[in-house]
Amino acid sequence: MATLSFSPLKPNTLFSSFLFPSKNLSSRPIIYTLPHRNTPPLTFSAAKRPPAASATNSSSSVTVETVSPENDANSTVFVIRARNRTGLLQVITRVFNILGLSVEKATVDFEEDYFVMTFFVTDSRGNKIDDQKSLESINKALIDAIDGDDDAALSVAPPDRGVVVRKPRLDFGERKGQAERMLGLMDVFLKNDPISLQKDILHHVEYTVARSRFSFDDFEAYQALAHSVRDRLIERWHDTLIHFKKEDPKRVYFLSLEFLMGRSLSNIVINLGIRDQFADALSQLGFDFEVLAEQEGDACLGNGGLARLSACQMDSLATLDYPAVGYGLRYQYGLFRQVIVDGFQHEQPDYWLNFGNPWEIERVHITYPVKFYGTVTDEFLNGEKCKVWVPGEMVEAVAYDNPIPGYGTRNTINLRLWAAKPSDQHDMESFNTGDYVDAVVNRQRAESISSILYPDDRSYQVALQLNDTHPSLAIAEVMRVLLDEEHLSWHRAWDIICKIFSFTTHTVSPEGLEKIPVDLLGNLLPRHLQIIYDINFNFVEELKKMIGLDYDRLTRMSIVEEGAVKNIRMANLSVICSHTVNGVSRLHSELLRTKLFKDFYDLWPHKFQYKTNGVTQRRWIVVSNPSLCALISKWLGTEAWIRDIDLLIGLRDYATNAELHQEWKMVKKVNKIRLAEYIEAMSGLKVSLDAMFDVQTKRIHEYKRQLLNILGIIHRYDCIKNMDKNDRKKVVPRVCIIGGKAAPGYEIAKKIIKLCHVVAERINNDNDIGDLLKLVFIPDYNVSVAEMVIPGADLSQHLSTAGHEASGTGSMKFLMNGCLLLATADGSTIEMVEEIGQDNMFLFGAKAHEVVALRKKGPTLKVPLQFSRVVRMIRDGHFGFEDYFKSLCDKIEGTSDYFLLGADFMSYLEAQAAADKAFVDEERWTKMSILSAAGSGRFSSDRTIQEYAENTWDIQPCRCPF
């Protein structure tokens, strides 16, 4: 995740490529034909601006003057002086067209950073405009459009790709009357009473979904419902954007490669405050809101915690009224759909767009060319040598807007996702030469840029899309725009770069830092590589002045890594160019300062901060656990905690209240019933509601140690098998639930999934075990499945080797839902201990500072006999597939046990025993559960975003009035 914030420059002067539009300026005269019908060519000249009285907007650099030319008695001349920006001419001519005015002639002069534009204008009848009131109104309309319409300036496509809307030619008085009528018609918001909602839904059934309002199914009802909700969402979205333009606050641009949004309907109607109204309206039509909500597919545009974090932070940005825009990629295929066949993971495409996405608005007129390959040449501009990138290939980035509403506010911000489309520049030539096949192939190549979220991570062709530090390329891109297109000096451009970027890293080890091979980057983005080399040269030269010729340190801190394969260290680039470097938990920040970026911290200690990650309570309690939401509101006597989650601490006052205990247990039982029904429908396995639902759901990875969990389950199974009947009566029954996806190229992770299935096959069909132990693997784990699993969990396991998890937002979601945690002292768990107390968690394992020493012991490190026994059971084929699991066993025995499963195994078993003991004491367990939820307020993304806003971005809330 990267963030971009600034105030001195207009946002539209910076955005290029996927995020930033391109603009070419030239000092030589050119003719530019405006993309409007009946508009004459615009001549760029060196004429001087005539003096005259002016109308000026004091909040900007826009000046509009009306003059009376001596040589043209039939037209009125408007002289506009404004800072140059992309699309400015189109904005101005659009204003004239809307007002029914004709531009007979126009000239443009340059004054440093300003355009001075002179327009010779007549009314719709070809007459001069001399009415003073009309002139004042026209001047005001021009100033408002130029100074306020940022998106209009960003919404400029090439003339042959745009959509021209021809409006009736009215004189100014008629146009004013028309505008008043339109405002009168649109002055009332859509109503939310049952009759109005039903009418809207049925309207969309017939006119949007194109079905008969007398015959439509659940999915068609969902589509009509979604569009009805979207209508109301767009009202708030427009109001917010207009308010932001009027107030012109400093804004934050949130850049992330992934946004794991999941389903949107329930979250949106809750944030808009109209969930109950829609539910009542649908009930009267014979539909159930929850059933229709299930029809929505997941938008799986992310891999896991980082992607879901980005989605939570967008929700918090909107709720806290911050002026923000999110930017990412609109993948045609989301995270792959995981299919389990005979216990093996198979990946299938996630066709999430097959049935459309009602929440996005395609902006076909907002397209920007994105350049690749080619060469960089030297040219002279105003006597100075400059670099010119001549691309070898171009694609178009097309914008898709996704409104994100806040809770308890009218603010609705924008998440803009970009899709890659082929450039039409050479298509006609291809067809003219009969090269139809090549044209189609090129189109497919272009669209592949935003096709797949999670390709096999062994492929270098897609290396740029695989790491969460990918947005750091924006640094080189902004620098390119400022140097090559804005023609700023290097010093001025560098000063801007260092003020606008801040960097958040989620990496905990040097091996996890992104590197891009120089050969790849030089071939794909040659100009960007040059700029990175120049940044590095200047940095190293300055560094030598500060630390001398310490070549080891200079080598470590260089952006360019020399070696057999020459690489660009993207994290070093980000640290050097950002004004703030953020960790995502206190422990993670300590690792950054003392290990990962120690050299940089010693140089710039003021840059380093941390903001512990958080998740949004709107999604993870209100949407996913409505029963618990209602219960919390009842006992706190308010729903204000949904926006101000610190109020949850008030539950501590009732932690021993018997009535709350009873209601709390009932909510948990309802959620367990729902989860048990899902498990049975998914696998055919019936599970006992009296058992502890023990859950570990996250991406499958060695450091997350799902394997430790499975080894513990095997040990538990082995113990039960060797017990007599009397001892078995004392066993706490468990339903162990594991879910998560392995990266397509990660063979060890895939073997862990297979091991889980073969162990489950043995345990679940063993009559000696019965309901004492069940093991379930939930396939294709995603946001909507998580919304069902998390509320139903009694215990949640977070087993990462200490020092390997940057934060761990999954544990926060479980904590909010009153689930008890069994965890290592890693990531944000340490801070959770401070909030809820060690007595309310089950901690185990080596601490972060002990891990290095344990690894050094190597072969002398003794592991418990219990560990050796369960590994031997796997190795000897007790669960089958003896040869297949050999490499998996080799990874965790002897000196190969890098993630210390053997070293932590005994401590892990002790923590599990402590959990068993607590679970049989219902009063104690329920109290611990209440205290867990009560102490979860610190882990809301609202707090995270507020800290970023105050300490990193320096932005203020900009609340849209109701």
Q: E-assigned strands of 805-885?
A: 820-824, 842-844
Please state, in angstroms and rounded to a whole number, the distance separating the CA atoms of residues 868 and 268: 51
Residue 823 Cα distances to 460, 532, 826, 837, 843, angstroms: 36, 42, 8, 13, 5
Nearby residues of 252 by Cβ (< 8 Å), 6 or more positions away: 3, 4, 5, 317, 322, 323, 324, 325, 948, 949, 953, 955
Residue type, 606: H
- Out of 94, 421, 611, 813, which one is annotated catalytic? 813
Antiparallel, parallel or unpaired: β 773-778 and 734-739: parallel
Query: Which residue has 């309207």 as its token pair?
Result: 203
Tokens of 882: 């003896």
303 by DSSP, 3-state: which? coil
Tokens of 916: 């068993």
243 belongs to the catalytic site: no
Please state, in angstroms and rounded to a whole number, the distance separating the CA atoms of residues 356 and 640: 35
952 belongs to the catalytic site: no
- Out of 81, 506, 668, 741, which one is annotated catalytic? 506
Tokens of 3: 């963030």
Tokens of 742: 């392995």
Query: Which residue has 């896991």 as its token pair?
Result: 304
| 261 CB-side CA count, 13 A | 33
- Out of 699, 847, 878, 886, which one is annotated catalytic? 699
Query: CB neighbours (10 Å) of residue 653?
Result: 12
Please state, in angstroms and rounded to a whole number, the distance separating the CA atoms of residues 869 and 873: 6
CA angle centred on 496, ends 494 and 501, rounded to 5°: 100
Tokens of 842: 């089950």
Residue type, 679: I
- Out of 76, 697, 809, 824, which one is annotated catalytic? 809
- Out of 308, 618, 704, 938, which one is annotated catalytic? 704
385 by DSSP, 3-state: which? strand
With contact defined as beta carbons under 8 Å apart, do 514 and 573 qualify?
no
Residue type, 101: L
Q: Would you give the end-to-end CA distance of the chain in angstroms?
A: 32
Tokens of 380: 């002279």
Please state, in angstroms and rounded to a whole number, the distance separating the CA atoms of residues 326 and 153: 18
410 belongs to the catalytic site: no
Please state, in angstroms and rounded to a whole number, the distance separating the CA atoms of residues 948 and 4: 12
371 belongs to the catalytic site: no
Residue type, 128: K
What's the gap between Cα 641 and its chain centre? Answer: 25
Please state, in angstroms and rounded to a whole number, the distance separating the CA atoms of residues 325 and 3: 10
Residue 436 Cα distances to 109, 173, 195, 433, 443, angstroms: 44, 53, 54, 8, 11
- Out of 230, 528, 698, 705, which one is annotated catalytic? 698
813 belongs to the catalytic site: yes
443 belongs to the catalytic site: no
Show which residues are catalytic: 506, 698-699, 704, 809, 813
